[in-house]
């Protein structure tokens, strides 16, 4: 890869920082505003240079279509699907929507089939999970006792700490204002673990 000028390096560093903090790349307008460039066209020229020099690649037809090419192990950022909304509170209907995709550092998305769920509610706030966050999910049918998991109860989904007790499954919130959800052993077949929460991505204002 060719060397970068100081200004080109600033643009690349901002893209990396935005990806690290927000979980997705910035738009050309955000790049121009943050770095004091003349406007979106000026930012686009820098992106053209970074792509030509092999530091990024872009996909047509998307305002946030920047992928890093110098990520760990030489891999570009992973584009993971957002598969709908999951409630951090009372369970709610899990509506899948795989049209949205967000760039995630490949060091975080190491498993096969990983995806993101958008969090609604504040029952996990003491676990630093807030309304609007994206939960990074490793799909798996079983989790260890006390793991934070995405769980389906019938057709409804929720995000909680998972405990399998002698007579029940306990889904434990991380907010004293919420009570645990208890599913008795005879009804345990209605509970399906979607996967383990392995990370939380938050957009920083």
Q: Give the catalytic positions in this structure.
A: 123, 160
Alpha helix (H) residue ranges in 81-172? none
Helix, strand counts (H, E) of the chain: 3, 12
Residue 152, C-beta contacts closer than 8 angstroms, at least 6 positions apart? 94, 191, 192, 193, 194
Find the angle CA(204)-CA(70)-CA(117) to the nearest 5 degrees. Answer: 40
Which tokens is 139 given? 């799909």
H helices present in the chain, as ranges: 6-22, 28-35, 40-52
Q: Residue 7 in contact with residue 49, Cβ under 8 Å?
A: no
Q: How far apart are the C-alpha atoms of 46 and 165, rounded to whole Å? A: 56
Candidates 66, 41, 53, 58; CA nearest to 9 is 53
CA torsion angle for 22, 107, 116, 34 (degrees, to 10)?
Answer: 10
């Amino acid at each position: 890869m060719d060397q970068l000028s100081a200004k080109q390096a600033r643009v690349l560093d901002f893209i990396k920082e935005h990806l690290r903090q927000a979980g997705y790349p910035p738009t050309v307008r955000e790049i121009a505003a943050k770095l004091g460039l003349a406007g979106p066209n000026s930012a686009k020229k820098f992106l053209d240079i970074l792509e030509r020099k092999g530091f990024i690649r872009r996909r047509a037809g998307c305002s946030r279509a920047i992928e890093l090419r110098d990520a760990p192990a030489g891999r570009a950022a992973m584009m993971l699907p957002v598969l709908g909304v999951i409630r951090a509170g009372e369970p709610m209907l899990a509506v899948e929507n795989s049209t949205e995709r967000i760039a995630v550092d490949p060091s975080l998305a190491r498993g096969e089939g990983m995806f993101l769920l958008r969090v609604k509610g504040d029952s996990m706030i003491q676990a630093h999970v807030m309304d609007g966050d994206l939960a990074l999910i490793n799909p798996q049918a079983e989790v260890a006792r006390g793991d934070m998991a995405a769980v389906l109860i019938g057709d409804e989904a929720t995000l909680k700490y998972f405990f399998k007790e002698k007579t029940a499954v306990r889904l434990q919130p991380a907010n004293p204002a919420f009570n645990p959800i208890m599913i008795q052993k005879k009804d345990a077949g209605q509970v399906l673990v979607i996967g383990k929460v392995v990370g939380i991505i938050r957009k920083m204002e």
